Chain A
Amino acid sequence: AQSVTQLDSHVSVSEGTPVLLRCNYSSSYSPSLFWYVQHPNKGLQLLLKYTSAATLVKGINGFEAEFKKSETSFHLTKPSAHMSDAAEYFCVVSDLGGYQKVTFGIGTKLQVIP
């Protein structure tokens, strides 16, 4: 069984300050982990993914995430927030066992204050 916990439903940051969106997971197998972003009334766009290679993963738009097995975490960070980063972010886990069946976190809404 697998699960994802996004610890914050809402995060608010000022433009130009760092972003931290937290995600913890549980998985029976070696997981793949993803972050997706959803802008209002839009589909989901893949930001980055971890698939057992480097533990620090760099994604699009300056985002990155670090896989920490000991903490079962995959937090998303960005050094400096931009107004266009305001959106909802989903952490996703997928077991390697069997076929791909992903589990989504509940999402974190990021607000960027000018």
Chain B
Amino acid sequence: NAGVMQNPRHLVRRRGQEARLRCSPMKGHSHVYWYRQLPEEGLKFMVYLQKENIIDESGMPKERFSAEFPKEGPSILRIQQVVRGDSAAYFCASSTKTGGQETQYFGPGTRLLVL
């Protein structure tokens, strides 16, 4: 059973470009979470999605960031018009169901560098 997959592992963008980060949850998992890890900081929750639904996006910046989890295919975190401050590691996690006892399994992350 493959773990959570993220691609690309490393992404370099120039200011103003778009970044698309992909996350394929573990097989059988229908809940996806995105986190951002800024240098020297812990992980910060961004968004929680189920298939075709955004459940909680309270951690997402109001502009330029969006996320989706379509019926088919991976979850996508999209950052438009990137700025240097978007440089960070973005982690995706998945779980079988929600609820405090359910373990989230993390992918290896995508490290975004904005030049």
Interface residues of A, Cβ cutoff 8 Å to B: 29-32, 34, 36, 41-46, 49, 51-52, 90, 94-97, 99-107
Contacts and interface: CB of A to CB of B under 8 A. Distances in A.
Given A41-B111, A51-B100, 4 more contacts: A46-B103, A49-B103, A100-B98, A104-B35
B12 interface: no
Given A43-B91, A95-B100, A100-B100, A36 B42 contact: no
B42 A43 contact: no
* 3 A-B pairs with least C-beta separation: A96-B100, A43-B108, A44-B106
A102 B56 CA distance: 12
B101 A51 contact: yes
B84 interface: no
B106 A94 contact: no
B34 interface: no
B45 A99 contact: no
A43 B106 contact: yes
15 contacts: A43-B6, A43-B91, A43-B109, A45-B106, A46-B105, A96-B100, A99-B99, A100-B100, A100-B104, A101-B45, A102-B104, A104-B35, A104-B43, A106-B41, A106-B42
A104 B48 contact: no
A9 to B, nearest CB: 9
B108 A42 contact: yes
B55 interface: yes
A32 to B, nearest CB: 4
Interface in B31-88: 31, 33, 35, 41-45, 48, 55-56
B42 A100 contact: no
A101 B48 CA distance: 8
Contact of A100 (B35, B102, B106): B102
A31 B56 CA distance: 19
B25 interface: no
B42 A107 contact: yes
With most chain B CB atoms within 10 A of its CB, the pick from A43, A51, A97, A101 is: A43
Contacts of A106: 41-42
B93 to A, nearest CB: 8
